[in-house]
Amino acid sequence: MKRIISLLAFAVISIAGASAQNNYCAVAGTYHDAEGKIAISDPKTTLQVQLTVTQEQTIVGPYAKYAQKFLGVRPALVERTSYNVTNAIIALAPEQATALPADGSTSKAETYLGSLDEFAKITPDRLSSSMISVEDAAQQAAQMIFSIRKHRMELITGEAGENVFGGGLKDALDALVLTSDALLADYGQVFVNSNKKNKEIAFALSNNQSEKLTGGFYPYFYLGNSSVAPAYQNKPVPMKSTQWWGFQPPFMKRLRDSRDIEGDKRVATNLGDGPYGASGENITWCNKYIGDQSGAIAIEDCDIPYYRTALGIMMAAELAYYKKEYTKALGYLNVIAKRAYGKDNYYTDAAPSAVLKAIENEYFLEFPAEGVIWWALIRLDTIWDYNSYLKQQKASNPNILLWPISNSARNKNYKLVQTEGWN
């Protein structure tokens, strides 16, 4: 629990100088006044000091000592209160100002608790009349947490609990504007440096030269000097030291076919492609994240979008598919397709297999290098079609896509059991 308190106080100190506002410097010590008499001066300047103090109060909950045993986390086990000065402002006060008491009117408190004085009461299980120990109750709570994690997709979509748990899904989707009005007309403008914080970006990692914030994964797509003809270095090929990452030929074929056959306007942003090599050969790169190219080396100052409206629309299509609302899924897909191909009702086949293939295709074409496609293929259960190693391992380990639990974690918490299929 944190409390943020603003304290306003005045300090009076003796200094030789005076206010810079009237350019008057007061005399300190003895001096002769206008009548020639000896006088003593003790000038004072009043400063106004405003402090922001953060009070952090830790209240230990009833399950705290069991958290490590059942969940493998280390909570605070001792109640404590700490204070930190997080901001201070000092300004010259008016000459007539006097010392004032602290002003508590700007104090505010932020807390995760319902009460600032005690931990929230534990709600008893109304379905059971038997009394259980706190440790057994903690174990049941931990099992519930793990169950929620395991069944989170069913809970979100309303497929679990007779649609009770997913009851808010419709309201959540209704709150989103899942139409073409929520998208920029030009796909490429979503990612350019001059159009940061555009309406399609929901959350992005900020990069800014003036704030000395630069970097990210995307420079691994840039090329080195020896690979690019001088005339094309940073014009248009982004330059760095060495290109470490590139798209595989099957994926580039998908992008080029979508561009050349379907008229996909997104490809120019996703795939840099041309005879710009040092010897005139064709070279490729991801053209989506391009920093400042005014110098010899591109500066990594473009933002990295994590969530944007198009992803919300695609996930709405995906959820509709899971709920077997295939025509509705096509409606969402066609919002994405309209911008890409310039056609209304680009997808028309509402057969389940056709809708699944369309969702998969649009994830590939809409989100290259955005960290989205891998997880989408796992959810769609089509990752096996693109990763032969995983497909081979699946035969002996059905849980190949789940994380194993390390030996050290299991040694610390004997309640943990290794994920089935992992040694």
CB atoms closer than 10 angstroms to residue 194: 7
What's the full length of the chain, in residues? 423
Q: Which residue has the tokens 């914030």?
A: 213
Query: What angle in degrees, to the nearest 10, is found between the helix axes of 309-322 and 326-341?
Result: 150
The residue with greater pLDDT, 122 or 204, is 204
pLDDT of residue 211: 81
Mean pLDDT of 356-385: 95
Q: Helix (H, G, I), strand (E, B), or coil: what is residue 345?
A: coil
Up-side HSE of residue 167: CA atoms within 13 Å toward CB?
A: 4
Mean pLDDT of 67-79: 75
Residue 123 has pLDDT above 60, yes or no: no
Q: What pLDDT digit, counting tens, does each position of 225-283 carry?
A: 889 999 999 999 998 888 888 899 999 999 999 999 999 999 999 999 999 999 999 99
Confidence of residue 65 (pLDDT cuts 50, 70, 90): confident
The listed range with the strongest mean pLDDT (71-75, 139-143, 178-182) is: 178-182
The residue with greater pLDDT, 62 or 297, is 297
Mean pLDDT of 285-304: 88
pLDDT of residue 118: 59
pLDDT of residue 70: 74
pLDDT of residue 327: 96
pTM comes to 0.61
For residue 330, give the nearest of 357, 369, 300, 303 by alpha carbon: 357
* Tokens representing residue 380 in the block: 């769609």
| Angstrom distance (rounded) from CA 151 to CA 216 | 33
Residue 158 DSSP one-character state: T
- Kindly state the helix (H) or strand (E) to which residue 51 belongs, with its residue range: strand 45-58
| Start-to-end C-alpha separation, the chain | 41
Contacts of 296 (CB under 8 A, 6+ apart): 233, 234, 239
| Angstrom distance (rounded) from CA 226 to CA 281 | 12
The residue with greater pLDDT, 383 or 98, is 383
Residue 18 has pLDDT above 50, yes or no: no
Mean pLDDT of 160-185: 67
Pairing type for strands 283-285 and 108-110 reads: unpaired
pLDDT of residue 154: 61
Spell out the domain ranges in the chain: 2-110, 134-172, 207-302
Task: Identify whether 236 is preceded by a cis peptide bond (ω within 30 of 0).
Answer: yes
The residue with greater pLDDT, 128 or 286, is 286
pLDDT of residue 45: 74
Q: Helix (H, G, I), strand (E, B), or coil: what is residue 11?
A: strand
Residue 292 has pLDDT above 80, yes or no: yes
pLDDT of residue 112: 54
Confidence of residue 19 (pLDDT cuts 50, 70, 90): very low
pLDDT of residue 5: 39
pLDDT of residue 2: 43
| Angstrom distance (rounded) from CA 237 to CA 338 | 29
The residue with greater pLDDT, 221 or 170, is 221
- Kindly state the helix (H) or strand (E) to which residue 174 belongs, with its residue range: helix 169-175
Q: Classify residue 188 by burial, with Cβ atoms within 10 Å: 0-12, 13-18, 19+.
A: middle
